[in-house]
Amino acid sequence: YVAVGSTGTDIDELAEPLPYPEDQSSNKPLQILFAGEATERHYYSTTHGAYLSGLREADRLLGHYNLL
């Protein structure tokens, strides 16, 4: 659950991969990616949000491995 008083930034943080790349130019392997409606700030708790979060993480993987 998102706690009472949580902000959109809290939802954004839920969507960050682990380990979090402190240096964005680093090509460290992404070990865990998070998708799902709870990680979509603008369409939280919807099927549309779940779909969009899947696209977001697929795009993150493509960018990480320079496949774009």
- Asked if 8 contacts 43 with a C-beta cutoff of 8 angstroms, the reply is no
Q: Sorting pLDDT into bands at 50, 70 and 90, what band is 64?
A: confident
Residue 29: per-residue pLDDT: 76
Render pLDDT for 26-48 as a digit per residue (tens, 0 to 9): 667 778 999 999 999 999 999 99
Q: Sorting pLDDT into bands at 50, 70 and 90, what band is 2?
A: confident
Phi, psi of 11 (to 5 degrees): -65, -40
Residue 30: per-residue pLDDT: 78
Render pLDDT for 10-28 as a digit per residue (tens, 0 to 9): 999 999 998 766 666 666 7
Specify the amino acid at residue 24.
Q
